[in-house]
């Protein structure tokens, strides 16, 4: 007979084989996934009578979905940025310069990151998003100052050439842009001296943030003047104020005048805001790792010490059937104990349940349904978390 089992797999609610493929930390998840699927397809002719499901707990699906969501968000965001620029600047030439300079700065930063061997991940994207405000500011200030100086020359009728005027207008804001970039860079420098897991997570964010700001400064001092020379050399430069900007300025002037006349009320309003902000501190999250709505859930499943392998398999099989009955769940697989020669040391009373949720279903409702089922087994120590959080949680132990 077979030697006593130290582990077992439950696939589609019954006995099966569960093959878990792990990649190196620096490997690309999408490339590894495609390679594994191609290898399994090549092996399929020699595995007659064996059904394989490569969609169970597939992290690449989350990445592909995230890339699609990010692409749509970038398209919508770019359209909104152009609309806002036109609405406030009230000049299609100034808006066009800003619309060209902003993505160009981000592309240059991304290219430098690629040359440095830094992959595009969530923290890198967060750094680029944080720098976006600085990039927009650099693009608008330089283009607006060039347009203002050219309009002033036409009104005064000076003899200076357009090239010299654009050069002078760019030099006027050069020192301000450089100093502002250095000040903002100094704010993020302490991140490089943070150690441990927290420092490792934030370092890509800081690098992408600094590169985006430096790229924006270089573009503002080179590309923006060149575009200004091309677009502002012809056409009308008369002053036309945006109705939206006029309305915002009037509101700001009214608030500013009220603040100057009654400073005590302004101080009181500021104090109330500070107190309300402090009252919200207990409700703020303390986790340093962002929570992603990943469709792959990993359930830690551990029974009382001394629970036998058949009993643990019976309980896990029942839980798998309950989880499969949830409409939002796409597939459920589990393993009890550990495989022979496994790299994880665990006894037969422990196991893991791998749950894949339907990407089209409501994520919060699906997660609540899974947690409700898992919580219905008293005497078992359970933990429901995403695969990303599980991997990051293991980093301190590995270190």
The 8-class DSSP code of residue 266 comes to H
Which of these ranges, 76-85, 182-191, 192-201, 300-309, has the smallest mean pLDDT? 192-201
Sort 205 into a burial class: Cβ within 10 Å, 0-12 / 13-18 / 19+: buried
Q: Which of 65, 69, 66, 61 is nearest to 30 (CA)?
A: 61
| Position 146 pLDDT exceeds 90 | no
Distance (Å, whole) CA 33 – CA 60: 7
Instruction: Assess contact for 387 and 59: CB atoms under 8 A.
Output: yes
For the segment 11-61, what is each residue's pLDDT rounded down to a tens digit? Answer: 888 888 888 888 887 788 889 999 999 999 999 888 888 888 888 888 888
For the segment 254-268, what is each residue's pLDDT rounded down to a tens digit? Answer: 888 888 888 888 889
| Position 285 pLDDT exceeds 80 | no
How high does pLDDT run on average in the chain? Answer: 82
Distance (Å, whole) CA 103 – CA 136: 10
Return the pLDDT at 292.
72
pTM for the whole structure: 0.66
Section 365-391 average pLDDT = 84
| Position 286 pLDDT exceeds 60 | no
CB atoms within 10 A of CB 102: 22
Return the pLDDT at 291.
67
Return the pLDDT at 134.
82
Q: Which two tokens stand for residue 73?
A: 């968000």
| Position 398 pLDDT exceeds 80 | no
Return the pLDDT at 190.
85
Higher pLDDT residue, 317 or 82? Answer: 317
Return the pLDDT at 238.
62
Residue 390 pLDDT level (bands cut at 50, 70, 90): low
Instruction: Assess contact for 190 and 389: CB atoms under 8 A.
Output: no
Distance (Å, whole) CA 183 – CA 111: 24
Long-range contacts of 173-178 (CB under 8 A, 24+ apart): 173/141, 173/142, 173/145, 173/220, 174/221, 176/141, 177/138, 177/141, 177/142, 177/217, 177/220, 177/221, 178/217
Return the pLDDT at 36.
94
| Position 399 pLDDT exceeds 50 | no
Residue 159 pLDDT level (bands cut at 50, 70, 90): low
| Position 94 pLDDT exceeds 50 | yes
Three-class SS of residue 296?
strand
For the segment 290-335, what is each residue's pLDDT rounded down to a tens digit? Answer: 667 788 888 888 888 888 888 888 999 999 999 999 988 988 999 8
Q: Helices marked H in the chain — which ranges?
A: 29-43, 59-89, 92-115, 122-156, 162-188, 196-231, 243-261, 263-279, 309-324, 363-374, 387-398
Return the pLDDT at 237.
57
Section 227-241 average pLDDT = 70
């Amino acid at each position: 007979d077979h030697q006593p089992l130290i582990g077992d797999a439950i696939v589609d609610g019954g006995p099966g084989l569960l093959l878990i493929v792990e990649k190196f930390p620096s490997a690309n998840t999408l490339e590894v996934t495609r390679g594994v699927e191609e290898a399994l397809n090549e092996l399929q002719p020699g595995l007659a009578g064996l059904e394989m499901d490569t969609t169970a707990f597939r992290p690449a699906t989350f990445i592909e979905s995230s890339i699609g969501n990010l692409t749509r968000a970038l398209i919508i965001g770019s359209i909104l940025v152009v609309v806002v620029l036109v609405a406030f600047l009230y000049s299609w030439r100034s808006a066009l310069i800003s619309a060209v300079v902003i993505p160009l700065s981000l592309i240059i930063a991304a290219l430098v990151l690629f040359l440095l061997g830094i992959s595009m991940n969530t923290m890198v994207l967060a750094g680029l998003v944080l720098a976006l405000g600085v990039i927009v500011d650099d693009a608008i200030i330089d283009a607006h100052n060039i347009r203002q100086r050219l309009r002033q020359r036409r009104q005064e009728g000076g003899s200076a050439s357009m090239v010299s005027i654009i050069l002078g207008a760019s030099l006027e804001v050069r020192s301000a842009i450089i100093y502002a970039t250095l000040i903002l860079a100094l704010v993020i420098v302490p991140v490089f001296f943070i150690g441990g897991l927290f420092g490792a997570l934030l370092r890509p964010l800081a690098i992408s943030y600094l590169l985006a700001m430096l790229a924006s400064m270089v573009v503002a001092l080179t590309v923006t003047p060149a575009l200004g020379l091309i677009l502002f050399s012809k056409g009308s430069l008369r002053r036309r104020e945006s109705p939206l900007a006029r309305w915002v300025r009037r509101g700001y002037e009214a608030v500013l005048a009220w603040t100057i006349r009654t400073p005590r009320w302004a101080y009181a309003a500021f104090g109330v805001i500070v107190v309300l902000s402090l009252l919200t501190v207990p409700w703020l999250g303390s986790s340093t790792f962002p929570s992603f709505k990943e469709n792959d859930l990993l359930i830690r499943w551990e029974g009382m010490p001394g629970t036998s392998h058949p009993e643990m398999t019976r309980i896990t099989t029942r839980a798998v059937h309950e989880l499969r009955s949830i409409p939002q769940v796409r597939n459920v697989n589990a393993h009890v104990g550990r495989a022979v020669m496994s790299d994880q040391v665990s006894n037969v009373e422990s196991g893991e349940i791998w749950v894949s949720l339907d990407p089209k279903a409501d994520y919060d409702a699906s997660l609540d349904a899974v947690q409700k089922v898992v919580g219905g087994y008293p005497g078992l120590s359970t933990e429901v978390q995403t695969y990303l959080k599980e991997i990051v949680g293991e980093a301190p132990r590995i270190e």
